Amino acid sequence: MTDNFEPTIIGFTCNWCSYRAADLAGTARMKYAPNVRLIRMMCSGRLDPTFVLRALSNGADGVMITGCHPGECHYLEQNYKALRRYLLLQRVLKGLGIEPGRVKLVWASAAEGARFASETTLFVEEIRKLGPLNWGKPIEELESLQEEISKLEEVPA
Amino acid sequence: MSEKKQERVGVYVCHCGSNIAGTVDVEGLTKWSEEKLKHQGVIVARDYKFMCSSLGQELIEKDIKELGLTRVVVAACSPHLHEKTFRTAAKNAGLNPYLCELASIREQVSWVHTDKAVATEKAKAVVAGAVSRVIENVPLEEIKVPINPNTLVVGGGIAGIQAALEIANAGLHVYLVEREPSIGGHMAQFDKTFPTLDCSACILTPRMVEAGTHPNITLLTWSEVVNVAGYVGSFNVTIKKKARFVKEDLCTGCGICEEKCPKKVIDEVFEAGLGYRKAVYTPFAQAVPKFPVMDKENCTYFIKGTCKACEKFCPTGAIDFNQQDELINIEVGNIILATGYDLFDARRVSNYGYGRLPNVFTSLEFERLSNAAGPTNGEIVLRDGKTTPKSVGIIHCVGSRDKNFNNYCSVICCMQGLKFAHLVHERTGATVYNFYIDMRTAYKAYDEFYQRVLEEGTLFVRGKVAEVTNAARYEHEKGKLIIQTEDTLAGKQRRIPVDMVILSSGLQPRYDAKEVGKMFGISCSTDGWFTEKHPKLDPVATMTEGIYIAGCAQGPKDIPSSVAQGAAASARVLNKILQKEVALEPIKASVDQDLCSGCRICNGLCPFNAISFLEDRMVTEINPALCQGCGTCVAACPAGAIHGTGFSDEQIMAQIDGLLFRNLQPVEA
């Protein structure tokens, strides 16, 4: 199953830098992994950590948070607040039993289309290695999964 | 939520010729949207070759009117390109423009992926996300603010002067602020300008005088901007006018104080350390304004408490030792930053010996040396002040196109090196060598100048110089500077002894460009230059409305380009002023004071001071005029009391669900 696993990833982008980097990657026809679906916000500082949890609990296998490089924030310093929240969120994720590697913070300026593309592809590979999250899957699905697992256990080694 | 009235959504999928249709199954996507997103309220989905064409827009407008659409999703290119087009179309059909969303299936899907099935699947997710989001959109009204017709220009170099004059000549008021005692910038220090060899002062000083005497220009030299508040249309700027210790209303600029001042100081700024000035001085004869400034650090009176020679001899009593720095507050609608560049410090390339070997000069030093008004009256001599060099080596790309220093090309150094070669040849008859990596002489009449210098007999060696040394290996090298270089055309190493070396240093951002950018709310590129809104189509605007950039502050450039940018920035400002008011995106945060618990978590988060705490009612308030709409406080409020328009929690949560196909089934009651 993991061989064909295609992760689903939600990417939060800043209107001023990383969203434009994604635009630039497009204009320059740079190819990258198709697993990331982007949401535009005005600033990485807008990122409410519950957005990340909502994404993970609703089927995303990973979340990419992108913002302006330190010192380059369009709103002066709000990306530092995103960084603070990200670090706290990492601890919360551990507490919830989720690999911290499923949520990644990437800085990409509006000029860094190539960086955006390569970082995206890299993150998809990282998540592919971690496997599907299956967090917040409806109970019925988990039950059927449990059944499958118990079937596997019945097979003598 | 369940009470919510069902919206009537229209989805419009653009082929963009084959740009989207080549990689995404647009018909399939349209059909899927109509079927699978029906329960979300999608009542119509259409595809069209070019949605942005007038026929495409009419299609949407017609549906809004005839089908009574309450929401529109256009799956096409990036919102940064056509959001305005489609929102205007919605508006024309009577729908609030903010009820129309763009789903970027070109930049984010068709252009970056190759597999049609995969791309189509992602496009479906992007459209589903946009549909879920648009349902949560609320009608918004643009915020109109009046534009103050006054403009601030920061930096009195040629770009700033040009910008100020253009606006002033249009009949509007300009504040021109310059950090140094006089306007003129780097151009005032140059001797000749390439490729025409116009005398720099001869073409610059008339502009300086015009700016200095213009009734619409308030000139503030020896002054710096210390604070900027507000937003496009109404900036409130605080300027520190440093004490000159000279009363401007009494001073006639006669120069007696400078003549009588007994203290000589090495002039590190204007004369690049080659000449002297007095403790009370005007940097050069044609300085604008004519008033001198007193250098407190070096003035004998300020050090020892006696002297006051200047005061004694001043015929109008203009000297005032008690003058204090002054803070001036001004209101402006737009700001142009033309803060220029710093010369790359050639000491950093230690193998070229600048600062260690006396006869290695920087380009700015050579400019002063060759300037008729300079410390040697235009005589090109060695550091001893008398010997004329018989051979001169000019090294290009010092600090530029070099991984150890700056990766970028500084644009002007090739032409500058050629100009130096011509001047040395003309004035001394010395043998001139130019050491270059590539000869870059683009732009009008530049290459012709290169041909001319070639014909004059200047020798060109292609290769990066490894070292400049005074360690002679052979008899003929004794007492000379030896340039050790690779000659890539001859394919061998060469040692060329010369009397004088000129380093054609590159340009770099002002040492304080980052802080200045921060103060004005604009960003710098990784190299440190101010970032323009668009590298091709909007080179003088910035991401911050009302702040424009011109000249070398935006990147290395020559005089014609600086002048063009100064004029371009002023055209943008005039355009804003003539509109009388500007529409701001209604993306703002606001506090529901019934929900606010007064915890103050948000209070320290706003860099624009838009958040204030009402002590009497123990609640927080956000000033919409100062709010820039970043949404950081919205995300931070633990009570959910702060609402952010345009990017509300509901909109983002819905978009997350949509992107994950969570909304494909109707929610069971």
Query: pLDDT tens-digit profile of B496-522?
Result: 999 999 999 999 999 999 889 888 988
pLDDT at B624 over 90: no
Expressed in angstroms, the distance from the first to the final Cα of chain B is 11
* Same domain (yes/no): B224, B210: yes
A 48-77 residues inside an 8 A Cβ radius of B: 48-49, 51, 54-55, 58-60, 68-69, 71-77
Write down the residue that tokens 């140059």 correspond to: B190
How many structural domains comprise chain B? 5
CATH code, domain carrying B234: 3.50.50.60
How many separate helices (H) and strands (E) can be counted in chain B? 16, 34
Asked, for residue B667, whether it belongs to a domain, the answer is no
Helices (H), B20-115: 26-36, 54-67, 79-92
Name the residue facing A34 among B113, B129, B524 (closest C-beta): B113
* Same domain (yes/no): B76, B202: no
* Same domain (yes/no): B208, B357: no
- The confidence band for A1, taking pLDDT boundaries of 50, 70 and 90, is very low
The question of ipTM being above 0.85 is answered as yes
Residue B82: what pLDDT?
Answer: 93
* Same domain (yes/no): B374, B267: no
- A148 CA: distance to closest CA in chain B (Å): 24
Asked, for residue B3, whether it belongs to a domain, the answer is no
Residue B290: what pLDDT?
Answer: 94
Least confident span in A125-129, B63-67, B177-181, B665-669: B665-669
- A157 CA: distance to closest CA in chain B (Å): 38
Asked, for residue B653, whether it belongs to a domain, the answer is no
Gap between the Cα atoms of B627 and B631, Å rounded: 9
Q: What SS3 class is residue B361?
A: strand
Gap between the Cα atoms of B264 and B250, Å rounded: 25
In whole angstroms, what separates CA B516 from the centre of its chain? 10
DSSP A75-94: TBSHHHHHHHHHHHHHHHHH
Residue B522: what pLDDT?
Answer: 84
**Mean pLDDT computed over every residue of chain B:** 94
* Same domain (yes/no): B498, B354: yes
pLDDT at B99 over 60: yes
Residue B1: what pLDDT?
Answer: 43
Residue B467's domain comprises 343-508
CATH code, domain carrying B611: 3.30.70.20
Taking alpha carbons only, the member of A18, A81, A76, A112 closest to residue B517 is A76
The dihedral over CA atoms of A26, A28, A33, A36, expressed in degrees to the nearest 10, equals: -30
pLDDT at B668 over 80: no
Q: Higher model confidence: residue A148 or residue B519?
A: B519
Name every residue whose Cβ is closer than 8 Å to that of residue B663 and which is 6 or more positions away in sequence.
Answer: B37, B40, B128, B131, B132, B654, B657
Asked, for residue B15, whether it belongs to a domain, the answer is yes
Taking alpha carbons only, the member of B395, B418, B401 closest to residue B467 is B395
Sign of CA dihedral B250, B256, B262, B263: positive
**A89-114, pLDDT tens digit by residue?**
999 999 999 999 999 999 998 888 99
Tell me if chain B has a CB within 8 Å of the CB of A21.
no
Write down the residue that tokens 């401007």 correspond to: B248
* Same domain (yes/no): B463, B353: yes
Tell me if chain B has a CB within 8 Å of the CB of A151.
no
- The confidence band for B535, taking pLDDT boundaries of 50, 70 and 90, is confident
Residue B669: what pLDDT?
Answer: 44
Residue B465: what pLDDT?
Answer: 96
- B456 CA: distance to closest CA in chain A (Å): 43
B35-52 burial code (b ≥16 CB/10 A, e <16): ebbeebbbbbbbbbeebb
Contact residues on chain B for A10, CB-CB shorter than 8 A:
656, 659-660
Tokens, residue B443? 């732009």
Asked, for residue B113, whether it belongs to a domain, the answer is yes
Instruction: Please state whether beta strands B431-436 and B391-398 pair in parallel, antiparallel, or not at all (unpaired).
Output: parallel
Q: Higher model confidence: residue A146 or residue A37?
A: A37
Q: Higher model confidence: residue A93 or residue B664?
A: A93
Residue pair B136/B654 in contact (Cβ under 8 Å)? The answer is yes
pTM for this entry: 0.82
Q: What is the mean pLDDT of residues B536-553?
A: 93
Taking alpha carbons only, the member of B216, B373, B203, B221 closest to residue B291 is B221
Name every residue whose Cβ is closer than 8 Å to that of residue B123 and which is 6 or more positions away in sequence.
Answer: B24, B29, B75, B105, B109, B110
Residue pair B104/B79 in contact (Cβ under 8 Å)? The answer is yes
Name every residue whose Cβ is closer than 8 Å to that of residue A97 and which is 6 or more positions away in sequence.
Answer: none
Name every residue whose Cβ is closer than 8 Å to that of residue B465 and which is 6 or more positions away in sequence.
Answer: B352, B395, B435, B483, B484, B485
* Same domain (yes/no): B220, B271: no
- The confidence band for A140, taking pLDDT boundaries of 50, 70 and 90, is low
Mutate to test the interface with B, among A13, A76, A103, A119 (most CBs of B within 10 A): A76
Q: Which helix (H) or strand (E) holds B116?
A: helix B116-136
Q: Which domains does chain A have, with CATH numbers?
A: 2-154 (3.40.50)
Residue A156: what pLDDT?
Answer: 59
Asked, for residue B180, whether it belongs to a domain, the answer is yes
Residue pair B200/B193 in contact (Cβ under 8 Å)? The answer is yes
The percentage of chain A sitting over the pLDDT mark of 70, rounded to a whole number, equals 90
Gap between the Cα atoms of B636 and A81, Å rounded: 9
Contact residues on chain A for B104, CB-CB shorter than 8 A:
23, 26, 38
Q: What is the mean pLDDT of residues B196-211?
A: 95
Residue B2: what pLDDT?
Answer: 44
In whole angstroms, what separates CA B111 from the centre of its chain? 30
Gap between the Cα atoms of B29 and B35, Å rounded: 10
Instruction: Please state whether beta strands B619-622 and B642-644 pair in parallel, antiparallel, or not at all (unpaired).
Output: unpaired
**Listed residues B582, B608, B632: the one ending a domain:** B582
**Are the beta carbons of A26 and B125 separated by less than 8 Å?**
no
Name the CA radius of gyration of chain A, rounded.
17
Asked, for residue B1, whether it belongs to a domain, the answer is no
* Same domain (yes/no): B300, B156: no
The dihedral over CA atoms of B529, B530, B532, B535, expressed in degrees to the nearest 10, equals: 0
| Other C-beta atoms lying within 10 Å of the C-beta of residue B126 | 24
**B277-326, pLDDT tens digit by residue?**
999 999 999 999 999 999 999 999 999 999 999 999 999 999 999 999 99
Residue B58: what pLDDT?
Answer: 96
* Same domain (yes/no): B43, B165: no
Gap between the Cα atoms of A119 and A104, Å rounded: 10
Mutate to test the interface with B, among A10, A18, A31, A41 (most CBs of B within 10 A): A41
- The confidence band for B4, taking pLDDT boundaries of 50, 70 and 90, is low
- The confidence band for B607, taking pLDDT boundaries of 50, 70 and 90, is confident
| Other C-beta atoms lying within 10 Å of the C-beta of residue B271 | 21
**Listed residues B142, B164, B197: the one ending a domain:** B142
Mutate to test the interface with B, among A4, A24, A30, A42 (most CBs of B within 10 A): A42
Name every residue whose Cβ is closer than 8 Å to that of residue B138 and which is 6 or more positions away in sequence.
Answer: B98, B645, B648
Gap between the Cα atoms of B69 and B10, Å rounded: 6
Tell me the one-letter amino acid at B434. Answer: N
**Listed residues B96, B125, B142: the one ending a domain:** B142
pLDDT at B225 over 50: yes
* Same domain (yes/no): B445, B388: yes
* Same domain (yes/no): B292, B411: no
Chain B residue whose CA is closest to A72: B523
Residue pair A132/A5 in contact (Cβ under 8 Å)? The answer is yes
Tell me if chain B has a CB within 8 Å of the CB of A80.
no
Instruction: Please state whether beta strands B280-281 and B293-294 pair in parallel, antiparallel, or not at all (unpaired).
Output: antiparallel
| Other C-beta atoms lying within 10 Å of the C-beta of residue B433 | 21
Tell me if chain B has a CB within 8 Å of the CB of A105.
no
Name every residue whose Cβ is closer than 8 Å to that of residue B313 and which is 6 or more positions away in sequence.
Answer: B256, B257, B260
Partner residues linked to B481 by β-bridges: B498
Q: What SS3 class is residue B578?
A: helix
The percentage of chain B sitting over the pLDDT mark of 90, rounded to a whole number, equals 90
CATH code, domain carrying B84: 3.40.50
- B121 CA: distance to closest CA in chain A (Å): 9
- B259 CA: distance to closest CA in chain A (Å): 47
Name the residue facing A25 among B112, B514, B628 (closest C-beta): B112
B564-602 burial code (b ≥16 CB/10 A, e <16): bbbbbbbbbbbebbeeeebebeebbbebeeeebeeeeeb
* Same domain (yes/no): B389, B352: yes
Residue B628: what pLDDT?
Answer: 87
Asked, for residue B629, whether it belongs to a domain, the answer is yes
Name every residue whose Cβ is closer than 8 Å to that of residue A80 and which is 6 or more positions away in sequence.
Answer: A70, A73
**Are the beta carbons of A39 and B119 separated by less than 8 Å?**
no
